[in-house]
């Protein structure tokens, strides 16, 4: 059993790590956004096929999925940025299915709050 003091220190360390990871993800997101903007049309065809259930094709270019398969960062229909490692609850306004390691399956049909750990 940990003493309250050690437990408190452990919690503080976790909070610092989360903050550091968030900054790193923001930098990764900016770098990868530039790369996506200069991608070839064949890459966008694959992207369109994977995201075919999103309601507007215009939103495909404003949406960005970081690191295929992990979805560490979601920017969906310019509503905001969501860091999958630090945010448990997501406010998402879109239709579709998103398979990921952190979000097993999201079936989204209306506005709402979704807890990533329950999927």
Q: How far is CA 4 from CA 1, 34, 72, 88, in A?
A: 9, 46, 32, 25
Number of residues that make up the chain: 119
pLDDT at 32: 53
- For the chain, give every domain's residue range: 4-118
- Collapsing DSSP to helix, strand or coil, 18 comes out as helix
DSSP assignment of 105-119: --EE-SS-EEEGGG-
pLDDT at 111: 38
- The pLDDT score that the predictor gives to residue 34 is 52
Q: What is the mean pLDDT of the chain?
A: 45
Q: How many CA atoms lie within 13 A of 50 on its CB side?
A: 16
Q: What span, in angstroms and rounded, lies between the C-alpha atoms of 22 and 86?
A: 7
pTM of the predicted protein model: 0.13
**pLDDT 10s per residue in the chain (119 long)?**
556 565 555 554 444 444 444 445 555 555 555 554 444 444 444 444 444 444 444 444 444 443 344 444 444 433 444 444 444 444 444 434 444 434 444 444 443 444 444 44
């Amino acid at each position: 059993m940990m003493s309250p003091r050690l437990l408190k220190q452990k919690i503080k360390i976790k909070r610092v790590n989360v903050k550091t990871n968030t900054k790193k993800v923001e930098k990764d997101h900016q770098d990868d956004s530039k790369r996506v903007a200069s991608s070839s049309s064949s890459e966008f065809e694959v992207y369109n096929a994977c995201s075919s259930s999103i309601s507007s094709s215009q939103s495909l270019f404003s949406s960005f999925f970081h690191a295929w398969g992990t979805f560490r960062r979601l920017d969906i229909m310019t509503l905001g940025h969501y860091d999958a490692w630090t945010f448990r609850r997501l406010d998402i306004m879109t239709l579709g299915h998103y398979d990921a390691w952190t979000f097993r399956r999201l079936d989204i049909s209306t506005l709402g709050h979704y807890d990533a750990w329950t999927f």
